[in-house]
Amino acid sequence: MNRANQKKIEEFHVEDTPKGEINHYWLKLSTNALGESIRLPIMVARGIGEGPVLGLTAAVHGNELNGISVIQKLFNDLEPNNMNGTVVGVPVVNLQAFFQGEREFNDGIDLNRIMPGVKNGNTSQVFAYRFFHGLVRKFDFLLDLHTASFGRVNSYYIRSDMNNKVHQELAHLQDAEIIVHSEASDGTLRGAAEALDIPAITIEVGNPNRFQKKLIRSGLEGVHNVLAYLNMTDDEIEKPSRNTIVCKKSYWIYTNTGGLLTVHVDLVDNVKKGQHIATIRDIFGNILEEYFSPENGVIIGKSVNPVNQSGGRIVHLGIE
């Protein structure tokens, strides 16, 4: 789209986008210290037929970039004249963190811990409130795109409440390497959406601070599957190409001792109880501590930063 298709708006309403069109908007959420507007970029594709509103959000943490590319590529594919319902894409939610290349908002708060925000709260709470109530609560379904954090890498995995049949379907449509059953935590965007009966899943699309073409393609295919499942497009759902591992729970294993960390397992590795998974050495190369898997599981994510203090993350272990 060219700039002629962009418009600055004070409020978002789905019906303001004509049927059969794709438009881009800049939604005012707050103002900076100069009194200038801080505006959220929104991409809207409205089909000619009736249907649900599917929301896609990325960069709730400012350094999580793969989801941005998923949304951009999706909108390049969409043909609103052959579509039902509306797709709303927010390529960057956490504007302040995105500008700085950081995870947290500029007051040091994680937006994905304070949703749906506070109307008369502090800087990040107000931003979260206006984002959620001005936009997200107008969705019928939500796919929230994330990546790993600083110093860590992730498999392509989904967090979903697998006790809910709709959430279960949305999760399996992603053809992910791993699905982790988890009820949404308070303060997360997924949890705030589910509290309003908006079916939502979290899609972990790889690693931070980069674009990963293979994972972006996987994420894009999953979104197209959801569009077909919701009868928003007439595409066929792509058959799964992976033997997705479904975990009933997951947790991180942490270090007891600081030092230089070497992790001996890779993403999606199946590990056995008692298997050697990591070693901590001191600055002279002496072994300080070794770590072993407490039970059978699969590696969902792991630390890739050797410099590790006591209480640092080692691996994210999924339990089937």
Q: What is the pLDDT of residues 279-318, one digit of tens each?
A: 999 999 999 999 999 999 999 999 999 999 999 999 999 9
Q: In this predicted model, what pLDDT tens digit does every residue of 198-238 receive, in sequence order?
A: 999 999 999 999 999 999 999 999 999 999 999 999 999 99
Q: Is 165 found in the same domain as 131?
A: yes
Q: Which domain holds residue 209?
A: 3-229
Q: Is 216 found in the same domain as 298?
A: no
Q: What is the pTM of this model?
A: 0.95
On whether the CB atoms of residues 154 and 301 are closer than 8 A, the answer is yes
Q: Is 194 found in the same domain as 93?
A: yes
Within 8 A by CB and 6+ apart from 102, the residues are 62, 63
Q: In this predicted model, what pLDDT tens digit does every residue of 105-119 receive, in sequence order?
A: 999 999 999 999 999
CB atoms within 10 A of CB 108: 11
On whether the CB atoms of residues 63 and 95 are closer than 8 A, the answer is no
Q: Distance of CA 216 to CAs 63, 75, 225, 308, Å?
A: 15, 14, 14, 30
197 torsion bin: left (phi>0), alpha (psi -120 to 50), beta (else): left
pLDDT for position 5: 74
Q: Is 275 found in the same domain as 191?
A: no
Q: Is 268 found in the same domain as 191?
A: no
Mean pLDDT of the 68-76 span: 97
pLDDT for position 185: 85
Q: Is 196 found in the same domain as 51?
A: yes
d(CA 89, CA 66): 14
CB atoms within 10 A of CB 221: 16
**236 falls within a domain:** no
- Can you give the CATH number for the domain in which 286 is found? 2.40.50.100
Q: Is 311 found in the same domain as 266?
A: yes
> What is the count of structural domains for the chain?
2
Report the residue count for the chain.
Answer: 320
On whether the CB atoms of residues 107 and 97 are closer than 8 A, the answer is no
Is residue 1 predicted with pLDDT exceeding 80? no
